[in-house]
Amino acid sequence: MSAQGEFARIALDDGRAALVTVIEGGEPGAKLLVRADGTTDGGLGDADLDRAAVEAAEDLMWTERSELREVNRAKLFVDVTAPAPRLVIFGAVDYADALCSLAKAAGWRPFVCDPRSQFATRARFPEAEDVIVAWPDEALARLGGIDRATYVAVLTHDPKLDDAALTIALRSEAPYVGAMGSRRAQAQRRERLLAAGIEEELLERIAAPIGLDLGAVTPEETALSIMSEVVAVRNGREGGRLSQISGRIHEVGA
């Protein structure tokens, strides 16, 4: 199968890959397929250009953007296909239900994980892609681990579950790891994780208290606060008010 045909197949299967095509320079029309696992098909006719194309593809397929890039005096179009990003929620609580609904409405794939079978039921979380009744290590194994398109929200308020989930997430490629709790609870969690051997710099990755400062009170408002922060992180933004931001509101692709 050609690189373009394989790219189309991956797209139909809702997979992740990038197809790089030479627009100018090199061999116009030459194509290189780069999969999420780093394997490739095809080629652009130049080893240096292939290496540069792979680097661009690996960047863009995880930020989920298609873009025109100029490398080595050639113009390359990087076409990306990717599934919707995942939001893995630890804690089968009321906030999780509201967060699942909002995430699903925003085009994300929410998953709820909790070992307590009396709380973690499909009936309670109808908008979740799946409800996994298991401890964090087993739950994440079932999900295939954490990749660069997996965002983690820890909502349990239970130190045993919180710490187990955070220990795995902080050492993963997750671009976002948020945790609910008061500042006092955050300080206590920090001490526990340090005592468990989590490095200081990894603890700085935790977004805690989780969410943006919206003054949220209800589960629905809290879900909006959390989802707003997650989307801002995904798009490389701070989440401030647009009326106070100079420059472009929306990124314009090449």
Neighbours of 87 (CB within 10 A): 27
Cα 207 from Cα 195, distance rounded (Å): 20
- What tens digit of pLDDT does each residue of 52-73 get? 999 999 999 998 889 999 987 8
Residues 30 and 114 in one domain: no
Residues 108 and 150 in one domain: yes
Based on its alpha-carbon atoms, the radius of gyration of the chain, rounded to whole angstroms, reads: 20
User: What is the domain range of residue 127?
Assistant: 86-234
Q: Domain count of the chain? A: 2
**Local structure of 44: helix, strand or coil:** coil
Structural tokens at position 64? 């989920």
Structural tokens at position 86? 């995942």
Q: Which of 140, 197, 212, 208 is nearest to 174 (CA)?
A: 140
pTM exceeding the 0.85 threshold for the entire prediction: yes
Residues 194 and 214 in one domain: yes
Residue 190: predicted pLDDT: 93
% of the chain with per-residue pLDDT over 70? 95
Residues 197 and 99 in one domain: yes
* Helix H or strand E encompassing 110: strand 109-113
Is the residue at 253 inside a domain? no
Is the residue at 160 inside a domain? yes
Is the residue at 250 inside a domain? no
Residues 51 and 72 in one domain: yes
Residues 65 and 164 in one domain: no
